[in-house]
Each structure stands twice: as structure tokens, then as C-alpha cells.
Amino acid sequence: MSVFSHSEFHQHEQVSFFQCAKTGLKAIIAVHNTNLGPALGGCRMWAYESDEQALRDVLRLSRGMTYKAAITGLPLGGGKSVIIGDSKKTKTPDLMRAMGKAVETFGGKYIVAEDVGTSVDDMNYIYSQTKHVVGISQNGQGSGDPSPTTALGVYTGMKSAVRYRLHRSDVKGLKVAVQGLGNVGYNLCKLLAKDGAQLFVTDVQPDKVALAAQELGAKAVALNDIYSQDVDVFAPCALGAILNDATIKTLKAKIVAGAANNQLSEARHGDMLRDLKILYAPDYVINAGGLINVYYEYLSRATGKSYDRAQVVAHVQKIDETSESIFRRAEQDGISTSSAADRIAEQRFMAPAASRAA
């Protein structure tokens, strides 16, 4: 397995491998770039089929965090960690404590948070070994589940896209198709329903769809029909790589704005959306609410000041301005919105230290 010559390596600063025979921990921590600050990113636990698959995932995810922090205007770098294993079968408090020891070896250069397969409880176990963890429980002076804040950010970015593309300042009567009614998707639906949007929803778990129909008046849609709904906005809130050759052709929505990470199957799909005049609100720009939330938790613990929810909400609302500046830049430069976001982020985290400080 190659590391330095890996196609996803992209000048990572540090990639460390950990194993603990006693707890069964097998983990990789990747720090992509710390030019703007310590690398903050979640810990994913997944039953990877191979070590190579785990390495690829951690490298892609940690680099993505560098872009997300930079575009969001946070003094943070990008990092991520993966634990190889099935979280439902092999996760134990001891294993998470061993992960905490691994994080501690970075001495604060990497700050861990929850991700797929890990929870607030797991962050509490990690906290027993290192203070470089965020998303711990509120009674441990953390900020708890970041998903409602992520949903608020997605909603903010979506409204910015609606204003830009549809020239509307509200969502009343707007038709929105939501794929995935999990922690973020369901909270997003609640915000949309409250402001009068009409919802079209799908999920692999029928009980979630039934609840959205009952509580929010959403229309249930079959899994594969979600792309072709005659709606204004498509909001992917489940899986990555769902914007591809097959699905893009069937989209009727004029806007794509959702929470899922890595929605574009390949970079060229951003161009394909642009050619079809579908405005894509880049995923990492509008799903940064959770990162903003945990950053303020980190800051409050580092400074001893209390966690200020109003500050978090004010920063999340800046996603509106950021999204609009990306839409404008894309139009001016004749490029996709995803490329415009990447360019702005790169200008920030790759600028020489002297000009960053100025």
C-alpha cells in the first residue's frame, strides 16, 4: 500500500497508523494542512473491506476538512481519522479510550469530533484520555449533537441559492425533495416545513418517511424517484457521489443544496450541473454548521469562557454571504460553483503565512 505516492495524498502533513492488541483498535489519523490552525475533523468507524480503502477515505476526508474550514473562515486546518471495524459489533469504551490516547500523541495538532459510526458517548470516552476532542456531552461542557446546527447551515445556504437562482426571498410554497431523513435531513425538513415549503421525501427507513408525512405533511417518494421529482430544489442528505451521469440527467430541480458530503461523483459533474443551469450550492460550504458549532466549543474550553450559542448562529448565518460570493465568482469566471469554492478556499489556506497574517 503506497502512502506518499497515493493518488489522494495531496501533500498531507502527517499520516499516522495506530494499533492496540488489547482493545483491537486499528486506526489511521491524517492531518492534511495546518496553515490556518489545528486540524479538526471527525472520527469515522467503518467496516472497511481493506486497509487501502480506509487510507483512501481518511485522506479524502481530511483534505476536504481543510477546504471546509478555509471557506468557512475558521482558524482551523483539516484532518480526519478512521477506525477500521464495525461500530455495531466491535466498538467498546476501551477501544474509544485507546483512540483517545492516539489523538493525544498529536499534542493538539489534531482535534477529533464525532462522525459516521461514532457518537457523543464515544467522544466522552476519548475525553478521558485527551482534551483535544469536541462534541462531548453538554453536561461535560461540550455542545452535544452538531446535526441541528448543520441543518441550519444547509437551510441558510439553500435560501441563498433560492434568492440567487429563483429571485425569491422566502420558501413559502417552494417544492423541495429531500433524500435522507437522518439527523440533518429531518431537522432541515422541520425548518422548511415551518416556513411553508412543500416537502417530497425518501429514506431507506420507512418509519422516518411515515413520520415526516405525519408530522410535516411531506409526500413520500420511492427511493429512486427522488431525483426526478418536479421540484425547485433537490436536497441530498444521505449519501455521497449521488450527482453522477445517470442522476443529473433526470433532475428537474433548478437548485441542488443538501448536507451530504462529496455529492459530486467526479469534479466534472459540477460542470455538468452548470451546463444544465442547475445551481449547485457546494456541499462543504453549506454543511459547515456542525464544524462551526464544535469550533466554538473548542474555543470556549480553550479560553475558559462559556459556549455562546448566539455566536455560533451568527457565524452559521455567514454561510448566506459565502454562498452568494461563490455563485457570483462562478458566474464571473465562467466556472462551476464547486471549482469557484475550491479556488477561494485554496487562496486562503495556501497563501504565504505573511499575507495570511496581514
Q: Which residue intervals of 140-276 are DSSP H helices? A: 147-166, 183-194, 206-216, 245-248, 268-275
Per CB under 6 A, 150 contacts ligand NAD: yes
Which CB sits closer to ligand NAD, 239 or 350? 239
Tell me the residue nearest to ligand NAD as measured from the CB. Answer: 182
Listed ranges 9-17, 57-65, 176-184, 303-311: which one lies at the site for ligand NAD (CB under 6 A): 176-184
Per CB under 6 A, 314 contacts ligand NAD: no
Q: How far is the CB of 127 from ligand NAD (least distance, A)?
A: 19
At a CB cut-off of 8 Å and minimum separation 6, what does 338 contact? 264, 267, 270, 280, 282
Listed ranges 25-33, 121-129, 197-205, 321-329: which one lies at the site for ligand NAD (CB under 6 A): 197-205
How far apart (Å, rounded) are the C-alpha atoms in residues 224 and 242? 11
Query: Cell numbers of 43, please?
Result: 472520527
Per CB under 6 A, 220 contacts ligand NAD: no
Which of 260, 279, 281, 294 touches ligand NAD (CB under 6 A)? 260
Among 80, 91, 159, 208, the active-site one is 80
Per CB under 6 A, 239 contacts ligand NAD: yes
How far apart (Å, rounded) are the C-alpha atoms in residues 131 and 308? 19
**Is 249 part of the annotated catalytic residue set?**
no
The b/e string for 229-246 (b: 16+ C-beta within 10 A; e otherwise) is: bebbbbbbbbeeebbeee
Q: How far is the CB of 240 from ligand NAD (least distance, A)?
A: 6
x/- letters, 268..297, toward ligand NAD (CB under 6 A): -------------------x--x-------
Which CB sits closer to ligand NAD, 129 or 261? 261
Size of the site for ligand NAD (CB under 6 A): 24
- How is 256-293 classified by DSSP, letter by letter? E----SS-BSSTHHHHHHHHTTPEE--HHHHTTHHHHH
Per CB under 6 A, 117 contacts ligand NAD: no
At a CB cut-off of 8 Å and minimum separation 6, what does 66 contact? 32, 33, 39, 77, 78, 345, 349
Which CB sits closer to ligand NAD, 90 or 261? 261
Amino acid at 237: C
Tell which residue, 227, 226, 230, 219, has the closest CA to residue 193: 219
Query: Cell numbers of 66, please?
Result: 481543510
Tell which residue, 282, 317, 340, 324, has the closest CA to residue 167: 324
Which CB sits closer to ligand NAD, 66 or 147? 147
Which of 3, 17, 204, 350 touches ligand NAD (CB under 6 A)? 204
Question: Any idea which residues carry the catalytic annotation?
Answer: 80
Q: Which residues bind ligand NAD (CB under 6 A)?
A: 146-147, 150, 179-185, 202-205, 208, 223, 237-239, 259-261, 287, 290
